Each structure stands twice: as structure tokens, then as C-alpha cells.
Chain A
Amino acid sequence: MTEVMEKDGLETARPDTEAVSQIVIENVWKVFGRDPKRVLGKNYRNLSKDEVQEKTGCIIGMRNINLEIKKGEFYILMGLSGSGKSTLIRNLIRLVNPTSGTIKVNGKNLTTMSHEQLLDFRRNNFGMVFQHYGLLPHLTVLDNAAYGLKVKGIPKGERYAKAMTTLETVGLKGWEDYYPGSLSGGMQQRVGLARALANDPEILLMDEPFSGLDPLIRRQMQDELVELQDKLQKTIVFVTHDLHEALKLGDRIAILRNGEVVQIGTPEEIVTQPADDYVQEFVRDASPAKVLTAGSIMEPAKELLYAWEGPKTALTLLNSKKRRAAFVVNKAHELLGVTGIKDLEKLLASEVKHRTIPASAIRKVTSVLPDTILEDLFPIVSQNQYPIPVVDEKNRLQGVVTTDQIFESISPPEEDEAAAEAETETETKAKAKAKSDEGGLV
């Protein structure tokens, strides 16, 4: 199989199926300002954020938020500036205290905890990474990385040893004795990450950790984070306002507006089924090629040849359906490859009789796993005259993806419905023509 497949083998290891919820947020409100409770009363409760601010001077930071974040999930909070992302993520460790509602982590209610319990909880369960790094400039890189452990009261030797290991994990070996001020932004954020990881917390909170970095470094850090997450399997809550970052990293995305959650979904759901105009606006320049998977757009293969039925049957079938070639599977429905009229005719013309279609008449094809994103299909499409077969881990054929399907699903949603309709009509005609030119394969 191809490289594409191997890469995807890794990605399937992501635990989006594990169902244990780690963080549960219920009916959480945050109102900034004097006497915030009154805003929750029925007089103001249903007014918009601006109206509330005008009438009471209070600012609604979060309005009736309900979220559930699963263990091991990479959860993204996204929204425009002022939509309440930072407020929400700070709520999770009560750096900001909610005005009402409950926050449960591992089943424990954070909102009713005493201050002591809360500090203990922060020390043992969380690591946080900040947009501007939040490092302590008067401490060395090593001391910064060890800070969480110091707060916890872990003796010097042990905490330095641990901090060294995490610094190594983030690629900062050899920088221990420098001061943060002499490091580049990317490296400072690595220190921030090392500090958060040193405690080995279950949950990582990251508030726009890569926003301050330039694009190249940023992409590199994202890739490394993905890699790290594959290894560590933390629960990550990650704030960003960069859609591409969200799509690349997130298992699920919650979109916030004016302190409210407008949509929660997988990257694919967000891009393909935006809940309203606000989300639509967000995902407008998202490339579906980055979120849609082969599995989500594939269709069942129209004609299949069964190896055990023999070459004659296959040839008859192809001729009657006016097809030049088709995929061949065995009894276990495993994909063997593709064979065509010419191959079969050549085979039948030879002396040797075959009860099944022999391997010599079957050409190998490149196949992909169902969760391969469309972007990764492009190189295959470009050097492949057949539709792409989609197989599961056991090489069983699941369906096929044609070039048409790929381009149809990544063409942006049309602004004007009528125009779109007219266009698709002519398009389908053109496509139908192209299809028949292609020789009507499968």
C-alpha cells in the first residue's frame, strides 16, 4: 500500500470513540461587573449582550454554556474576539469564577470546592499554556519548566530531573540554563508547554498558544503537538480563532459567539453543516479537502468482479454493462486489484484454463483507508486512471471514490442558490460527458 495508508493507520489510533467524559460544564454563566447576579434574573436574562451592557453596565462573558469534553479528546474553542473563549477556558480552573452553573472535572464539582481544594486540584490535574507564554523572566528555562512542580512542593533534585525530561520532549535540550528572554517566540512557547507537561496533568488548557508565532513555526508546533498528543493522550482544551488550526488539531470544535455556544461538532460537521451564518462565515474559506474523508464521500462500487466466478463470467458482465474494467474482490471481500476486458480476452485466448481470475490478470491499484482526508487523495488521483478504492484495515473493499465526487465535494458552497442550481446542471452534463469519455469504469 501507499504512504498515505500508513499515515492513516496512525490517525485511527485517535480515541474519538472513548466515551468517558472528563469535563462537564452545565448552565454556566459569567457576568462581569457590579452585582452580576441580577443579570441572571428574568428581567435581563433574555436580553442580548449589548442590551444588558447598556442597561446594567454588566458584560456577559458566558451565557448558559453546556459542554462535555471527553477523556483524551482534543477539544477546540473557537470564535471571534470577545466571544468568551478565554473566559470559558479560565473557568475550567476557576481563574475566572462562574456567576452560576456547575463545572465538573472527573465528576468533582469545582464550583463548590474550598480554596485549598481548588489549589490542590489545579496542581494535580491541569497544565496551562498561554498566548504570550506567561513565563517568569527572572528564572532560567529549567526553573520555568519546573515551576509547577515547585509550587507542588517537590524537592529540587526530583523536580529538575522531571523538568529536564519534559524539556527534552519539547526539543529544548541544552537550553536549560538560558533565560526565556534570550529565546525565540517558538522556543519560549516550548518552555510554556514543557512547564505544563512537567506535572503530567490529565488535562491541558491552551489559550491561543500559537497565535503569537509566525506561520512556519506555528505549523511546525502544530505538527509536534499532534505527534505529542498521539503519544500522551491528554485531554486538551485549545482556544484558537484560526479555523485551519482548529480543523487540523481538533477532534471536536465548539464555536462561540457573544458568550454562547452556537455549534458543537467534528471538524467535518462544522465545515459541511454550519449551523448558522456566523459559523458559515467562519468556515467560508475552509478547504473541505482538509476535513472531508474518503469514507464520507465514497459510494458503493457499482460493478464488482468476483475472482471465484472465473474470467468468462467477468468478461460477459463487463461487456453487458459496457464497462472496460472493474475491481476484483475475493470471497472475503478483500480487494485484489482491477481487471479489464483486454486482460480477460488475453487470458481466455491463451491455452491455460482458469476457474478463477488469476493474479496475472489482475493489476494492483492504490487503495486508501476511509479516514484519509481528501487532500491526501489528490496525488493518487493525478496518477491513477481508476476511481480510488476505499478499504478497511483488513483490505476489505468499502466503496470507491471517483474524481468527480472529490471535486464536487470540495467545490465551495454556492452563495446564490439559483445560480448554483443552474451551474450544477450544466456541470453535471459536462461531467456525464467526461465520464463516458473516461470509459465508464466501475
Chain B
Amino acid sequence: MINFPDLVTIPLAAWIDAAMSWLLRNMDGFFEVIGFIILQVVLGFEGLFLFVPWFIWIPLIGLAGWKLVGRWRTGLMFMIMLFLIGAFGYWEMAMLTLSLVIASVFFSLLIGIPFGILMARNDRAESILKPILDGMQTMPSFVYLIPALMFFGMGKVPAMFATIIYAVPPVIRLTNVGIRTVDVEAVEASKAFGATSRQVLFDVQLPLAKPSIMVGINQTTMMALAMVVIGSMIGARGLGMEVLLAINRIEVGRGFEAGMTIVFLAIIIDRITYSFSERNKKDLR
């Protein structure tokens, strides 16, 4: 075996650390403001989810399953799942996790859709963003926890920050693809009638790209759920933390219950957001 020469080293880690500490020193106020906004939004959602009692949530979600997904059996299945979550004793935890997910998705869309639009309308932006998005999607999710921790310390906000960054690529990507694959003639028609670029966007490109954007939202939501669970490692209270504790204490049963709760949430969220994208496709046909 020949070792790699010790003389050749690139101190990338040191550079990044330096950059981070520079950011921390100089951009402190900035991160504080961002953290504050994120926190307010998630607290708002938490308030809502915990305020509405379980006996309203369960039929409501059942109804959504029936009406949106299209079969009453789906609605019934949703209700049973939610009931089981309550029976496991994880209702509150589930609601906390859910608010984290929804708040993160909210921010991801707020960032992702404009970036997707930019990427679709500007070839240069696409060529710059594409490799970045590729990189982001291949990066292991834990990695996002590190800068989040450094900027925001422990707790909900860093978990959400990491989640937002982790979950944003699909919605950017699919907004871009959606807009780029809109019928060329429809766009041309709009332009031919003298539409401004704003009118083209809102009259044609976004409505026709909606099914694709909805698929992006669905994927972003699922990724957010996965990341929120991991985010528990840095102190966001919720189902992930339960799993983590169960692992540490080797309590298989508890871990299983928490795990099942996450799966149930995932199924419900997935089906409901997926139904939105299908519905839009049908309308456009």
C-alpha cells in the first residue's frame, strides 16, 4: 500500500470553519431575525393543531380522505390511523411533528417556487442552480444539522432550518420542469396577444405547470417529514425524539409505536397532497 502523500493537503474543513465563524460573528443579527420569524410561524401552527381537539381532527381528516382522495374507505382508513395514534398516546407528539412539517413546507414553498420560476425563465439561472440542487439531494441529511446547529443552537428553529433547506430541491426542480414543459404554443399565443411577461406567467405558465408543481409539493412534504424526525436529534420535540429515546434505551415496543405513528402521518400527508396533483391534471385535460 502506498499512502497518499502527507504534503498534499487542502485544508477545506478549516476554510469552511473560518467562513462559518465569520458568518456567525458578522451576521448574528440576521440569523436572529430569521430564527424569530421561523419560530413565530411554527408556534402559530402548533397553536392551531393543538387547539383544535382530536374529536374534530379525526372526522375532518376522514372527510378529507373521502372527498379529496375519492373513496370513503380511504377516509375511514385515515380515521382509524389517527385513532391509533391517539391510542398509542402520541397525539400531542404527532401534532407537534405535524406543525414542524407544515411550517417547514410553508417556508420551502416560499423559497422554492420563486426559485423554480427563475430557473425556468432564465437558462443561466438553471445552469447554476441545477448542480447545486443535485448536490443538495445527494448530501446525507445529517450534514444539514451542523450549520443549523451553529447558526441557531439547539431546538425547533435549527431543526426547521435544516428541514427547509433539505426539503426545498424537489419543489424548485418540479416548478422548473413544469414551467418548461408547458405547451409552447399556449405560451406563444399569450405572447402573440401582447401579454406582458407577468401575464404570461400567471395566465399560462403557472396554471399549466400546476400539476407538476403539486408533485413537487408532495415530494417536498415527504422529505420534510423525514427530516423533521431527524431534526429531533438537535432538540426539536416530537416523534423523532421518541424514536431516538427508544433506541437509546433499547425499548423496542416504544420505538415501534412511535415509528408506526410516523408512518401513519406519512401516509395521510402523502395521499392528501398527491390527490391535489391528480385533481389538477384531470382539470387540465
Contacts and interface: CB of A to CB of B under 8 A. Distances in A.
A123 B186 CA distance: 16
A248 B195 CA distance: 33
A130 B189 contact: yes
B181 interface: no
Interface in A118-152: 119-124, 126-128, 130-138, 147-148, 150-152
B285 A137 contact: yes
Top-3 shortest CB links A-B:
A123-B194, A134-B185, A134-B189
A138 B185 contact: no
Interface string A172-209: 00000000010000000000100100010000010000
Given A138-B207, A148-B194, 9 more contacts: A93-B192, A123-B193, A130-B185, A134-B188, A135-B189, A147-B189, A147-B190, A147-B203, A151-B193
A95 interface: yes
B191 A95 contact: yes
Contacts of A128: 188-189, 192-193
B260 interface: no
Given A136-B203, A136-B207, A151 B194 contact: yes
B122 interface: no
A93 B195 CA distance: 12
A122 B192 contact: yes
Given A136-B186, A136-B207, A138-B207, A181 B285 contact: yes
A120 B191 contact: no
B190 A151 contact: yes
B186 A135 contact: yes
Contacts of A124: 194
Contacts of A136: 186, 189-190, 203-204, 207-208
Contacts of A119: 194-196
A117 to B, nearest CB: 11
Interface in A289-333: none
Contact of B194 (A135, A152, A181, A192): A152
A130 B184 CA distance: 10
Contacts of B196: 119
Interface residues of B, number: 20
Interface string B242-285: 00000000000000000000000000000000000000000111
Interface of B: 183, 185-186, 188-196, 199, 203-204, 207-208, 283-285
B188 A138 contact: no
Interface of A: 90, 93, 95, 119-124, 126-128, 130-138, 147-148, 150-152, 181, 192, 195, 199, 205
B188 A130 contact: yes
B195 A151 contact: yes
Given A137-B284, A137-B285, A138-B284, A131 B193 contact: no
Contacts of B186: 134-137
Given A130-B185, A133-B185, A137-B285, A95 B192 contact: yes
Nearest to B282: A181
A95 B186 CA distance: 13
A128 B208 CA distance: 20
Contacts of A150: 203
Contacts of A132: 183, 185
A199 B195 CA distance: 13
Contact of A181 (B190, B192, B284): B284
A90 B185 CA distance: 12
Nearest to A135: B186
A138 B208 contact: yes
A122 B194 contact: yes
A120 B196 CA distance: 10
Contact of B185 (A122, A126, A131, A148): A131
A19 B194 CA distance: 28
Nearest to A118: B194
A151 B192 CA distance: 10
Nearest to B284: A137
A199 B207 CA distance: 24
Nearest to A179: B283
Contacts of B208: 136-138
B285 A120 contact: no
19 contacts: A121-B194, A122-B191, A124-B194, A130-B185, A133-B185, A134-B183, A134-B188, A136-B190, A136-B203, A136-B207, A136-B208, A137-B186, A137-B284, A147-B190, A147-B193, A151-B203, A181-B284, A199-B193, A205-B192
B272 to A, nearest CB: 22
Nearest to A198: B193
A66 B162 CA distance: 60
A152 B192 CA distance: 12
B109 to A, nearest CB: 20
Contact of A122 (B193, B204, B207, B284): B193
Nearest to B283: A138
Contacts of A130: 185, 188-189
Contacts of A151: 190, 193-195, 199, 203
Contacts of B194: 119-124, 148, 151-152
Contacts of B195: 119, 151
Nearest to B200: A151
A113 B39 CA distance: 50
Contacts of A152: 193-194
A152 B196 CA distance: 10
A102 B171 CA distance: 43
B207 A148 contact: no
Contacts of A195: 189, 193
The CB with the most chain A CB atoms within 10 A, among B190, B194, B283, is that of B194
A126 B189 CA distance: 11
B189 to A, nearest CB: 4
